[in-house]
Amino acid sequence: MSVQYPRGRATAGEKPGNEPEEVKLQNASKQIVQNAILQAVQQLSQESQRRQERISDNQGHIQLGVGELTKKHEKK
């Protein structure tokens, strides 16, 4: 997920690569926001995966419990 932002344009007398301070700050702010969003998405994905694993584990325990009940019932 990459968001492209337009770069600041050099005006007459400015050398390319010498961006005004405001443009540098804007670019730094955008990078911080992008990193924060990426980190939040990764964290949400990990939490979702852990939740899904817990659900799968719990379903396995429930199925084992049902199987044990069936075996005990068959012995009678």
pLDDT digits (tens, 9 = 90+) for 44-59: 999 999 998 888 877 7
- Dihedral, CA of residue 20, residue 24, residue 25 and residue 27, to nearest 10: 140
pLDDT for 41 beyond 60: yes
Q: Is residue 1 within 8 Å of 38, Cβ to Cβ?
A: yes
**For the ranges 27-36, 39-48, 55-64, which has the lowest average pLDDT?**
55-64
pLDDT at 37: 98
Work out the pLDDT band at 67, boundaries 50, 70, 90.
low
H-helix or E-strand containing 48?
helix 21-75
Judge contact between 15 and 30, C-beta under 8 A: no
The answer to whether residues 34 and 40 touch, using CB atoms and an 8 Å cutoff, is no
Rounded percentage of the chain residues whose pLDDT exceeds 70: 54
